[in-house]
């Protein structure tokens, strides 16, 4: 959340089993062996994923 905006990310699992997120044109794609590593990398400051949503949506049963 930044200046009233909530940023979302598209996470993809590639055919080779590696995980990545959609990046802006010209940005280098980063690959991860598992989702946990991807999340850990983006929890670091200035990486994009900084805080959880204030009111998460629960999955419908």
CA distance 59 to 42: 24
- CATH of residue 39's domain is 3.30.505.10
43: containing domain? 1-48
Asked whether residue 32 is assigned to any structural domain, the reply reads yes
Residue 52 CA, chain-centre distance (Å), reads 11
pLDDT at 28: 86
Residue 19: pLDDT over 50 = yes
Total domains in the fold of the chain: 1
Local structure of residue 58 (DSSP, 8 states): P
Confidence of residue 1 (pLDDT cuts 50, 70, 90): very low
Which tokens go with 1? 């959340």
pTM of this structure: 0.58
Q: In this predicted model, what pLDDT tens digit does every residue of 27-39 receive, in sequence order? A: 788 999 999 998 8
Q: Identify which of 38, 45, 49 has the alpha carbon closest to the alpha carbon of residue 9.
A: 49
Asked whether residue 38 is assigned to any structural domain, the reply reads yes
Q: In this predicted model, what pLDDT tens digit does every residue of 38-55 receive, in sequence order? A: 888 877 766 654 455 677
Nearest-Å Rg of the Cα atoms of the chain is: 13
pLDDT at 5: 62
Asked whether residue 55 is assigned to any structural domain, the reply reads no
Which tokens go with 35? 């989702």
Asked whether residue 56 is assigned to any structural domain, the reply reads no
């Amino acid at each position: 959340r930044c200046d009233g905006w909530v940023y979302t990310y598209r996470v993809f699992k590639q055919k080779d089993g590696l995980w990545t997120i959609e990046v802006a044109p010209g940005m280098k794609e980063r690959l991860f062996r598992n989702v946990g590593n991807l999340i850990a990398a983006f929890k670091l400051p200035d990486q994009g994923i900084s805080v959880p949503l204030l009111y998460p949506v629960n999955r419908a049963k």
